C-alpha cells in the first residue's frame, strides 16, 4: 500500500460515477482489495459513502465472503489447499509445517510482512494434491503466483528457499545504499 | 458478415492451421500447476533460437490431468502425437526430433491420433479410457484454442444458435423437454420444464443465469469446461435467453478460478465482436447480453437463491422457495438459472435433435455425466460418460484403478452434499435416481476415490467441518446442528467418543435435513448418514477400541521406529524431523519422542525402503508403556489446543 497517499486518493480510480450502483458492491470490494492488498476500515467507509448505503452493510457483505481480508497480506501470500483430495493426501500436515516454519498461525502475516498463510477450499488441481500456491513475484521462481504440486511436509522448506533468498537479497541491497 | 461467411472464414483459418505443423500445449490450471507455462516458454525460445516458424497454441485440458503437462504435435501428412509429462526439459528433444527431423519420439508419447504401425505408441481412441467415454461437452476441450472463437466456429460452433433462431421459443423449449435433459448442478430438475415455467411469465425483464460457482472441494468440471471451451456455454445461454424471452444474462464464476474468469472474459468479447451477443443477433431481431460476475468465496453462493443474492451485491443468504426463481429470481424477475454443464449441452440438443440426445443414457437420466476423478485414483482427471455407466467402470476402466494398487474402499460422489459409497456398491449405475437411492446424490460431479488408508470418520469430519465453516448462519439447524455434529465427530476421532454418540449423530442429521431452508443444509448430513450406514464398524473401532483402522486419526495413531529394523548408522529421519523429535544418537537405533512428535510422517517417507523401519500404530496403547504415557500427554495437549 502506498502510504503517502490517503485511502480516498487511492480509491479515486476505482470509484467512478458510472459504477454508483448497489449491485457493484462486491466487485468494487474485490477491486479495492486487489489494489490495496486488503480492505482497510477507511476504504469500506469511503465505499459506503460512494454507494450511499450504511457502512455496516458494506462491512456485513465484506465479512460474509472468504475472499476479503481486513489485515494486510504478506509480500508472498501462501495458500494451502484443503479441498477433499488435498485433505486425503495430507494437506493438513503441509499447513502445520508452514505454521511451524514461519512461526505464524493460519490467517496471520509474518512480522516482517513477507509471508502470510491462508487455507483455501479447493483450487481445482485435485490430481496434483496436495497443492500450495505462493503468490507475489520473486525473480528466482521465474513466474509469480505459482502452484506447487504434490507437496510433502519435507518439501515445505525446499519451496520456500527462493523466496527467502529474494528477501535476503533485497535486504542486503537496501543496506548497501548509503544513507 | 452472415453466419455462413463467419463460419467459412473460421474454417479456412482452421484448415490452414491443420495443414501446417503446430504444437498444442494444455494450459488449463491443471497443466499450469504441472509446469505447462514453462513448457510453452521453452518451446517459444527454442523455436526462436533455431529460427523456425511453428505455431505454439495454448489449448485447454483434454481431461487427462494425471499426465500433465500434455502436449500434442501435429504435422500434416504425418502422425499427430500426444506426449505426456512434458516439462520444459523435454522441449529441445521434441523440437530436434519431431519438428526438425522425422523422429516422432514415440517413447515419450501417450498415443497417436492416427493408427500407427504395430508396436508403436497406442492409438488414442482405442485406449480403454476412451472406449468407455462419450465426449459431448468435452469433445473440443484440449483441441481448440479457447481464446479463439474461430476454432469454435470451425468445429460446429454456434450452429445450434443459428438453428434456434429459426425456431419459435416454444419449439425450443419443447425440444429441450423432449430430450429429457436434467439440470447438471446436482438436483436434476428437468431443464425444459424450468424454461417453460420461466417462459410462461409475462414479467419483464427476464434473466438467464449461469452457475459457475463450483464450490465443491474436489470438483473441477466447470473449471475445465470454462477454461477449455467457454463458447459452448455462452451459446447455451443465448439460446436459453431466446427461449424464455430474456435479453440479459449473468455468468457467476468463483474467484478461485482466475484463469476461467479470464478466458470467459475473452470469449464474451469475441462473441460480441462477431455479433453473437448484442443487438439483432444473426439478423434475427433478437438481442442478448451477458455480464460476468465473480464470486467472492462462499460455498453457499452455489445455491440458486444465494447466488442471485450475490449477483445483487448482497450476502449470499438463501431465501425460502416458493416463489421459485423461474417466477421471481434476480431482482424479483423471472430467472432461469442453470449449471455450466447444462448450458454446454443445449446447443447440441438444438443442433442434433431431442431424439438423438434422448437415445443416450438411461430411462430417466439422459445424456452424459461429467466427473472429476480425484483422490486415490491412478488416472485422475476429467471424464465424460453416458449416464448409467457404473462406478466400477469409472474407477477401473477410465481411472485405471487405485493408486499404488491399494484396496478400493469408497467413493464420495457429490462432495460435502453427497454420500460415501462403499466399494461393494461399485456396480451401481451412475444416474440421478440410482445415486439418490443409495443415500448419495449426483451432485455437480466431484468423484473422490478413497482407499484403505483413508478413514471414513476422518473424511466425514472433514466434510462437516467444511459445511460448518460455509453455513451462512441463517437457519439454526444448519448453523448450530452442524457445529454440534462436528464436535461429536471430533470427539470420536480423538478417542473420546461414546456409543450413544452414533445414534445421536443419526438423530441430529435428520433434524438438520428437515430444518434447513436450502440444499446446503438439507444435504449436509449426507456424508454422516452414509458413512454410518456403510462404515459403522469403523465408528465402533474408534469408540470402543480407541483404534483408527486406517491409521489416519492423529490422536489415535503413533509413529514408531522398529528397533530391529533401524540401520543405526543412517540419520535420515533425525535430520528431516521438523520438530526434532527423533533421537538415539549416532550408531544407535533411533527413537521417536512421542511428546514432540506431530505425526507428520516425514520419517516414514524418508526412511530408505531397504530398512522400512518406521510404522504406524493404532491404538496408541500398542506403544511401550513409557512412550504411551508421552503420547497421551501430547494428545491431551493437542485436544486442549484445538478446543480453545
DSSP characters over B115-181: ---TTSS-BGGGSHHHHH---STTTTTTTS-TT-HHHHHHTTTTHHHHHHTTS-HHHHHHHHHHHT-
Judge if A40 and A110 occupy the same domain: no
Q: Which three cell numbers stand for residue B153?
A: 466456429
Q: Can you point out the beta strands (E) in B340-413?
A: 368-375, 381-386, 408-413
Q: Say whether pLDDT at B117 is over 80.
A: no
Mean pLDDT of the region B78-90: 94
Confirm whether B7 is domain-assigned: no
- Quote the pLDDT of residue A21: 92
**Structure ipTM:** 0.89
- Quote the pLDDT of residue A142: 59
pTM of the model: 0.93
Q: Say whether pLDDT at B255 is over 90.
A: no
Confirm whether B363 is domain-assigned: no
Confirm whether B3 is domain-assigned: no
Q: What is the CATH number of the domain that holds A94?
A: 3.40.30.10
Q: B410, B435, B454 — which closes off a domain? A: B454
Tell me how many degrees the CA angle B435-B440-B444 measures, rounded to the nearest 5: 85
Q: Say whether pLDDT at B522 is over 80.
A: yes
pLDDT > 90: percent of chain B: 88
For residues B300 and B318, the answer to whether their CB atoms sit within 8 Å is yes
d(CA B215, CA A158): 31
For residues B222 and B186, the answer to whether their CB atoms sit within 8 Å is no
d(CA B63, CA A127): 11
Q: Which residues pair with B370 in a beta bridge?
A: B384
Distance from CA of A53 to the nearest CA of B (A): 12
Judge if A125 and A162 occupy the same domain: yes
A154 — pLDDT class (breaks 50, 70, 90): confident
For residues A154 and B602, the answer to whether their CB atoms sit within 8 Å is yes
Judge if A86 and A128 occupy the same domain: yes
Residue numbers of the domain that contains B624: 557-643
Residue owning grid cell 473460421:
B10
Mean residue pLDDT across chain B: 94
Judge if A103 and A59 occupy the same domain: no
- Quote the pLDDT of residue A139: 64
B494 — pLDDT class (breaks 50, 70, 90): very high
Confirm whether A2 is domain-assigned: no
Mean pLDDT of the region B370-397: 95
Judge if A58 and A37 occupy the same domain: yes
d(CA B82, CA A39): 46
Residues of A in contact with B601 (CB under 8 A): 90, 93, 153
d(CA B304, CA B316): 10
Judge if B570 and B519 occupy the same domain: no
A-B contacts at Cβ under 8 angstroms? 156
Judge if B343 and B231 occupy the same domain: yes
Q: Say whether pLDDT at B312 is over 70.
A: yes
Confirm whether A161 is domain-assigned: yes
Confirm whether A16 is domain-assigned: yes
Judge if B536 and B468 occupy the same domain: yes
Q: Which residues pair with B361 in a beta bridge?
A: B366
Q: B412, B433, B454 — which closes off a domain? A: B454
Neighbour tally for B493: CB within 10 Å: 20
Judge if B290 and B427 occupy the same domain: no
d(CA B296, CA B291): 16
CB contact under 8 A, A124 and B30: yes
H-run or E-run covering A52: none
Residue A159 contacts B, CB cutoff 8 Å? no
Q: Report pLDDT digits (tens) over B447-478.
A: 999 999 999 999 999 999 999 999 999 999 99
Residue owning grid cell 521434441:
B94
- Quote the pLDDT of residue B260: 95
Judge if A58 and A22 occupy the same domain: yes
Q: A64, A87, A110 — which closes off a domain? A: A64
Q: What is the CATH number of the domain that holds B480?
A: 1.20.1440.230
User: In this complex, which of B315, B376, B462 lies closest to A61 when CB atoms are compared?
Assistant: B315
- Optimal mutation site among B374, B379, B398, B460, interface A, most CBs of chain A within 10 A: B374
Q: Which three cell numbers stand for residue B161?
A: 444458435
Confirm whether B551 is domain-assigned: no
- Quote the pLDDT of residue A143: 59
SS3 content of chain B, % helix, strand, coil (to 5): 45, 15, 40
Confirm whether A70 is domain-assigned: no
Judge if B182 and B275 occupy the same domain: yes
CB contact under 8 A, B472 and A64: yes
d(CA B391, CA A173): 59
For residues B55 and B17, the answer to whether their CB atoms sit within 8 Å is yes
Confirm whether A38 is domain-assigned: yes
pLDDT > 70: percent of chain A: 92
Judge if A58 and A124 occupy the same domain: no
Q: Which residues pair with A147 in a beta bridge?
A: A133
Judge if A56 and A84 occupy the same domain: no
Q: Say whether pLDDT at B379 is over 70.
A: yes
- Domain total for chain A? 2
Judge if B223 and B354 occupy the same domain: yes
Residue B614 contacts A, CB cutoff 8 Å? no
Q: A31, A64, A97 — which closes off a domain? A: A64
Task: Spell out the residues 6+ positions from residue B7 whose beta carbon is closer than 8 angstroms to its own.
Answer: B153, B154, B158
Q: Say whether pLDDT at B70 is over 60.
A: yes
- Domain total for chain B? 5
Judge if B350 and B244 occupy the same domain: yes
Confirm whether A90 is domain-assigned: yes
Residue numbers of the domain that contains A44: 7-64
Q: Which residues pair with B450 in a beta bridge?
A: B410
Q: Which three cell numbers stand for residue B31?
A: 497443466
A121 — pLDDT class (breaks 50, 70, 90): confident
What would the DSSP string read from start to end of B526-553? HHHHHHHHHHHHHHHHHHHS---TTS--
What would the DSSP string read from start to end of B72-117? EEE-TTS--EEESS--GGGHHHHIIIIIISS---GGGEEEESS---
- Quote the pLDDT of residue B247: 96
Judge if B433 and B486 occupy the same domain: no
For residues B259 and B176, the answer to whether their CB atoms sit within 8 Å is no
Judge if A83 and A135 occupy the same domain: yes
- Quote the pLDDT of residue A1: 47
Q: What is the CATH number of the domain that holds B102?
A: 3.40.30.10
Confirm whether B281 is domain-assigned: yes
Confirm whether B631 is domain-assigned: yes
Confirm whether B18 is domain-assigned: yes
- Quote the pLDDT of residue A138: 64
Judge if B237 and B104 occupy the same domain: no
Query: Poorest-confidence range of A157-161, B273-277, B393-397, B608-612?
Result: A157-161
Confirm whether A69 is domain-assigned: no
CB contact under 8 A, A126 and B315: no
Distance from CA of A148 to the nearest CA of B (A): 7
- Quote the pLDDT of residue A135: 86
Residue owning grid cell 445483487:
B312
Judge if A130 and A82 occupy the same domain: yes
Residues 452-481 of B with CB under 8 A from A: 454, 459, 462-463, 466, 470, 472
Judge if B508 and B395 occupy the same domain: no
Judge if A85 and A147 occupy the same domain: yes
- Map residue B391 onto helix, strand or coil: helix
Q: Which residues pair with B386 in a beta bridge?
A: B368
Q: B454, B473, B490 — which closes off a domain? A: B454
- Optimal mutation site among B209, B256, B453, interface A, most CBs of chain A within 10 A: B256
d(CA B438, CA B141): 32
What would the DSSP string read from start to end of B411-431? EEESGGGSEEEEGGGTT-B-S
d(CA B490, CA B252): 35
Query: Poorest-confidence range of B236-240, B433-437, B546-550?
Result: B433-437
Q: Say whether pLDDT at A2 is over 70.
A: no
Query: Poorest-confidence range of A68-77, B89-98, B110-119, B284-293?
Result: B110-119
Peptide bond just before B323 cis, omega within 30 deg = yes
Q: What is the CATH number of the domain that holds B439?
A: 3.10.20.600
Q: Report pLDDT digits (tens) over B262-308.
A: 999 999 999 999 999 999 999 999 999 999 999 998 999 999 999 99
Residues 360-419 of B with CB under 8 A from A: 372-376, 380-381, 412, 415
- Optimal mutation site among B33, B457, B472, B644, interface A, most CBs of chain A within 10 A: B33
Confirm whether A71 is domain-assigned: no
Judge if B180 and B312 occupy the same domain: yes
Judge if B462 and B449 occupy the same domain: no
Q: What is the CATH number of the domain that holds B334?
A: 3.40.50.11540
Judge if A54 and A87 occupy the same domain: no
Residue owning grid cell 481448440:
B144
B140 — pLDDT class (breaks 50, 70, 90): very high
- Using alpha carbons, select from B161, B291, B137, B162 the residue that is nearest to residue B229: B137
d(CA B233, CA B236): 5
d(CA A62, CA A1): 19
Neighbour tally for B571: CB within 10 Å: 14
Confirm whether B330 is domain-assigned: yes
Q: Say whether pLDDT at B406 is over 50.
A: yes
- Reading phi first (left if > 0) and then psi (alpha if -120 to 50, else beta), residue B29 is in alpha
Q: Which three cell numbers stand for residue A32?
A: 479495492
Characterize B538-550 residue by residue with b for buried, 16 or more Cβ atoms within 10 angstroms of its Cβ, and e for exposed. bbebbbeebbbbb
Amino acid at each position: 500500500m502506498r502510504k503517502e497517499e490517503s485511502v480516498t486518493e487511492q480509491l479515486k480510480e476505482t470509484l467512478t460515477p458510472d459504477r454508483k450502483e448497489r449491485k457493484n458492491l462486491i466487485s468494487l470490494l474485490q477491486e479495492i482489495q486487489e489494489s490495496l492488498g486488503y480492505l482497510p476500515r477507511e476504504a469500506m467507509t469511503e465505499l459506503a459513502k460512494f454507494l450511499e448505503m450504511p457502512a455496516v452493510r458494506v462491512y456485513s457483505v465484506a465479512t460474509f465472503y472468504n475472499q476479503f481480508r481486513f489485515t494486510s497480506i504478506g509480500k508472498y501470500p501462501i495458500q494451502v489447499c484443503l479441498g477433499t483430495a488435498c485433505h486425503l493426501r495430507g494437506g493438513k500436515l503441509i499447513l502445520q509445517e508452514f505454521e511451524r516454519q514461519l512461526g505464524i498461525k493460519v490467517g496471520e502475516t509474518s512480522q516482517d510482512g513477507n509471508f502470510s498463510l491462508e487455507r483455501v477450499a479447493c483450487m481445482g488441481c485435485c490430481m496434483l494434491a496436495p497443492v500450495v500456491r505462493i503468490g507475489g513475484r520473486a525473480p528466482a521462481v521465474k513466474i509469480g503466483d505459482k502452484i506447487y504440486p504434490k507437496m510433502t511436509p519435507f518439501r515445505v522448506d525446499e519451496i520456500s528457499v527462493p523466496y527467502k533468498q529474494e528477501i535476503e537479497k533485497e535486504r542486503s541491497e537496501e543496506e548497501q545504499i548509503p544513507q | 458478415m452472415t453466419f455462413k461467411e463467419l463460419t467459412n472464414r473460421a474454417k479456412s483459418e482452421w484448415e490452414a492451421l491443420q495443414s501446417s505443423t503446430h504444437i498444442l500445449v494444455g494450459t488449463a490450471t491443471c497443466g499450469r500447476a504441472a509446469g505447462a507455462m514453462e513448457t510453452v516458454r521453452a518451446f517459444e525460445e527454442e523455436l526462436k533460437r533455431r529460427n523456425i516458424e511453428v505455431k505454439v497454441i495454448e489449448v485447454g485440458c483434454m481431461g487427462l490431468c494425471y499426465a500433465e503437462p500434455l502436449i500434442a504435435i501435429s504435422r500434416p501428412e504425418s502422425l499427430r502425437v500426444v506426449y505426456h509429462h512434458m516439462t520444459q526439459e523435454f522441449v529441445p528433444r521434441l523440437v530436434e526430433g519431431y519438428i526438425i527431423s522425422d523422429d516422432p519420439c514415440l517413447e515419450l508419447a501417450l498415443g497417436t491420433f492416427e493408427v500407427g504401425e504395430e508396436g508403436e505408441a497406442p492409438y488414442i481412441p482405442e485406449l480403454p479410457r476412451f472406449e468407455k467415454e462419450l465426449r459431448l461437452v468435452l469433445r473440443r476441450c484440449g483441441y481448440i484454442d479457447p481464446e479463439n472463437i474461430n476454432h469454435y466456429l470451425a468445429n460446429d460452433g454456434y450452429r445450434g444458435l443459428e438453428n434456434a433462431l429459426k425456431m419459435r421459443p416454444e419449439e425450443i423449449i419443447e425440444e429441450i423437454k423432449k430430450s429429457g435433459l436434467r439440470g447438471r448442478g446436482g438436483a436434476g430438475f428437468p431443464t425444459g420444464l424450468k424454461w417453460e415455467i420461466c417462459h410462461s411469465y409475462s414479467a419483464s425483464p427476464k434473466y438467464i443465469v449461469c452457475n459457475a460457482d463450483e464450490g465443491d472441494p474436489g470438483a473441477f468440471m466447470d473449471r475445465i469446461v470454462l477454461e477449455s471451451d467457454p463458447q459452448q456455454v455462452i451459446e447455451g445461454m443465448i439460446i436459453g435467453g431466446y427461449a424464455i424471452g430474456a435479453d440479459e444474462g449473468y455468468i457467476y464464476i468463483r474467484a478461485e478460478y482466475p484463469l476461467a474468469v479470464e478466458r470467459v472474459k475473452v470469449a464474451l468479447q469475441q462473441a460480441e465482436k462477431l455479433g453473437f451477443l448484442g443487438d439483432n443477433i444473426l439478423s434475427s431481431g433478437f438481442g442478448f447480453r451477458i455480464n460476468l460476475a465473480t464470486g467472492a468465496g462462499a460455498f453457499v453462493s452455489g445455491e440458486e437463491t444465494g447466488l442471485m443474492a450475490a449477483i445483487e451485491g448482497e450476502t449470499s443468504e438463501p431465501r425460502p422457495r416458493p416463489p421459485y426463481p423461474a417466477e421471481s429470481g434476480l431482482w424479483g424477475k423471472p430467472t432461469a438459472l442453470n449449471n455450466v454443464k447444462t448450458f454446454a449441452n443445449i446447443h447440441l440438443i438444438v443442433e442434433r435433435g431431442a431424439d438423438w440426445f434422448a437415445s443416450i443414457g438411461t430411462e430417466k437420466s439422459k445424456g452424459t455425466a461429467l466427473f472429476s476423478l480425484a483422490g486415490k485414483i491412478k488416472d485422475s482427471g476429467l471424464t465424460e460418460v453416458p449416464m448409467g455407466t457404473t462406478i466400477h467402470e469409472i474407477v477401473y476402466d477410465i481411472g485405471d484403478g487405485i493408486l499404488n494398487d491399494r484396496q478400493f474402499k469408497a467413493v464420495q460422489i457429490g462432495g460435502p452434499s453427497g454420500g460415501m459409497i462403499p466399494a461393494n456398491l461399485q456396480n451401481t449405475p451412475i444416474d440421478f435416481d440410482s445415486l439418490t437411492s443409495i443415500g448419495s446424490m449426483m451432485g455437480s460431479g466431484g468423484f473422490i476415490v478413497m482407499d484403505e488408508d483413508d478413514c471414513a470418520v476422518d473424511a466425514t469430519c472433514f466434510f462437516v467441518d467444511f459445511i460448518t465453516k460455509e453455513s451462512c448462519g441463517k437457519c439454526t439447524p444448519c448453523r448450530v446442528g452442524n457445529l454440534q455434529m462436528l464436535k461429536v465427530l471430533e470427539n470420536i476421532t480423538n478417542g473420546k467418543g461414546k456409543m450413544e454418540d452414533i445414534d445421536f449423530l443419526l438423530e441430529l442429521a435428520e433434524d438438520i435435513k428437515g430444518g434447513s431452508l436450502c440444499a446446503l443444509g438439507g444435504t449436509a448430513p449426507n456424508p454422516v448418514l452414509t458413512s454410518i450406514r456403510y462404515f459403522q464398524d469403523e465408528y465402533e473401532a474408534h469408540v470402543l477400541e480407541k483404534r483408527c483402522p486406517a491409521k489416519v486419526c492423529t490422536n489415535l495413531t503413533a509413529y514408531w521406529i522398529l528397533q530391529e529394523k533401524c540401520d543405526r548408522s543412517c540419520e535420515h529421519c533425525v535430520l528431516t524431523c521438523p520438530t526434532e523429535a527423533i533421537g538415539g544418537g549416532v550408531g544407535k537405533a533411533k527413537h521417536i519422542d512421542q511428546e514432540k512428535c506431530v505425526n507428520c510422517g516425514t520419517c516414514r517417507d524418508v526412511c530408505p525402503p531397504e530398512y522400512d523401519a518406521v510404522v504406524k500404530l493404532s491404538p496408541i496403547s500398542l506403544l511401550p508403556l513409557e512412550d504411551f504415557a508421552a503420547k497421551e500427554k501430547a494428545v491431551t495437549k493437542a485436544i486442549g489446543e484445538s478446543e480453545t
